[in-house]
Amino acid sequence: MMEQKFASIPTVFTGADVFITGGSGFLGKVLIEKLLRSCPQIARVFVLMRAKRGKSLEDRLKTITDGVLFDVLKSEHPDALNKIHPIEGDCTQLKLGMSAASMERMNDVQFVFHAAASVRFDDPLKDAILTNTRSTREVLDWAKTLRKLRAVVHISTTYCNPELLRVEEKIYPPKMDWREAIRLAEAFDTPVLEMLKDKLTQFAPNTYTYTKGLAEQICYEYRNDIPLVVFRPSIVTNTESEPLAGWVDNFNGPIGLLLGCASGVVRVGLLDLEKRINCIPVDVSIKAIIAAAWKRAITAEAGTLPVYNSAAEPKKTITYGTMLYDGKVLFDRVPLSNMLWAPGGTTTSNKYLFYLIFFCCQLLPALIVDGILRIGGKAPFLLKLNRKIFDAQVSLRYFMNNEWMFETENFKQLEYTLTDDDRKNFSTDYFVLGMMEYYECAIRGGRRYLLKEPDENIDMALKKYKRLRVLNYLLRGVLAFSIAYCMYSKYLL
């Protein structure tokens, strides 16, 4: 346990200016809210944001802070939102697209959190390099000019070296020189780089993890120039407790799979049921990110580069089979009111069998339902939705059919490094009530915050769920009888 001579986290952030990229993303929103709520004397929080046609930066910021995620903050610290200052910029541009006036305004920034990234697995290589790799160089180059800088946290991913099934808390050798990667992205257009992608990336499973790995190489080279931290979350999922349980704003990760199954739309999965999935709640990762920045600021160790794998230890992970089985149990308690059919289906790790089952059990029903909708004068949607589901499952195939072991000693030590006072608000303990309870909370959160279904309609959803289960059994019985009758008529009569 750290001696009390070290200042607490809120004390270290008192009067400090903070700069955040990716503030409109999943991690970024939770980071902004947590800093303002648990470090109430923080000075200014600068958030890099792109201007969008017809929407000012202030309007975009208001859209974020009007969300339920910020309700607790607004009730406890009504004036805290005034500390957020949007900065016009773009991570895909040189100097982050920031004006000289903006950079001058942020001369006193002490903490930098680089959370911006494109997490799409199918991004063209050129776009991924500019967004995930070059932006890191631009952030660090700018950070070098900050005279009061105390810590920079680069948010990476535990999967940035996906070919390694055991990942330590260290920087691994580069697959390519990051300078050359940036030069190629700047010099060649998208079609040319797509032709060379497999050779350049050494057949990496996707451009996201590859370019995040390159970004870590930049951090390694800048380690002597600025106080840096590399923070690697695993699969980031719903909040566990702060500021409200179950909050989520995207369908990425297991919650998307669970909700897809609960809706009756997903009938087949391209995955290995025996492989384990590693998830970490977003609020736990954010508390650890802030603690890592605090620790870097109070321990002046020039030239070091702490790496944190923010991942669940093996005993707190589950297999895909367990997750789906438990999901079925949870659906009995918390079904969706807008389900199209009773949950059910199968899984396979064979991609050709997956293609066949997907065509029979998802595409054909989607064609029929969309045809009925067209006849009824309504807009079809199921075929388009299934196309997205298919693309997502294919792009995730490598990750859902492999299993990783992450060393997390540095991450676990953060908990013991905290002062007694900080442990109340920044503890990195997770799945405190149990994993089954957490996933039930996650499904409820998906209902509330993604599908906009209030808890008050759960009883109605249960009645619909029971009706659809009866219909599902009847349909399966009719199909089985029809097949048996046809075989009997053809071969036995």
CA-based R_g, the chain, Å: 24
Alpha-carbon dihedral 291, 293, 294, 296, rounded to 10 degrees: 120
User: What percent of the chain is predicted at pLDDT more than 70?
Assistant: 98
Q: What is the mean pLDDT of residues 133-161?
A: 96
**Band (35; pLDDT cuts 50, 70, 90):** very high
Confidence at 2, pLDDT banded by 50, 70, 90: very low
**Model confidence pLDDT, tens digit, residues 246-259:** 999 999 888 888 99
pLDDT at 483: 83
- Sole residue written with tokens 């349980």: 245
Q: What is the mean pLDDT of residues 71-97?
A: 94
Q: How many percent of the chain have pLDDT more than 90?
A: 75
pLDDT, tens digit, 9 for 90 and up, residues 177-209:
999 999 999 999 999 999 999 999 988 999 999
- Residue 406's DSSP bridge partners are 167
Q: Per the structure block, which two tokens stand in for 465?
A: 């769920």
- Assess contact for 129 and 169: CB atoms under 8 A: no
- CA-CA distance, 365 to 269, in Å (whole number)? 16
What does the longest C-alpha to C-alpha distance in the chain come to?
91
User: What single-letter amino acid sits at 71?
Assistant: D
- pLDDT tier, 1 (very low <50, low <70, confident <90, very high otherwise): very low
Residue 475 has pLDDT above 90, yes or no: no
- Tokens 């007694």 belong to 420
* Each residue's pLDDT tens digit, 385-424: 999 999 999 989 999 999 999 999 999 999 999 988 899 9
Among the listed residues 360, 342, 331, the one whose alpha carbon sits nearest the alpha carbon of residue 475: 342
Predicted local distance difference test score (pLDDT) of residue 479: 84
User: Rounded distance, CA 293 to CA 181, Å?
Assistant: 29
- The whole-number pLDDT of residue 78 equals 87
Q: Which residues pair with 137 in a beta bridge?
A: none
Under CATH, domain 9-246+278-312+405-422 is a member of which superfamily? Answer: NAD(P)-binding Rossmann-like Domain (3.40.50.720)
pLDDT at 340 > cutoff 70 = yes
Name the band, by pLDDT with cuts 50, 70 and 90, for residue 114: very high
Q: Which residue has the higher pLDDT, 37 or 2?
A: 37
3-14: average pLDDT: 83
Q: How confident is the model at residue 294 (pLDDT cuts 50, 70, 90)?
A: very high
pLDDT of amino acid 161 = 94
- Strands (E) across 89-186 are located at 109-114, 151-155, 166-167
| Three-state DSSP string of 44-84 | CEEEEECCECCECHHHHHHHHHCCHHHHHHHHHCCCHHHHE
46-55, 321-330, 483-492: the lowest-pLDDT one: 483-492
Q: Across all residues in the chain, what is the average pLDDT?
A: 92
pLDDT confidence of 493, banded at 50, 70, 90?
low
pLDDT at 55: 85
Confidence of residue 3 (pLDDT cuts 50, 70, 90): very low
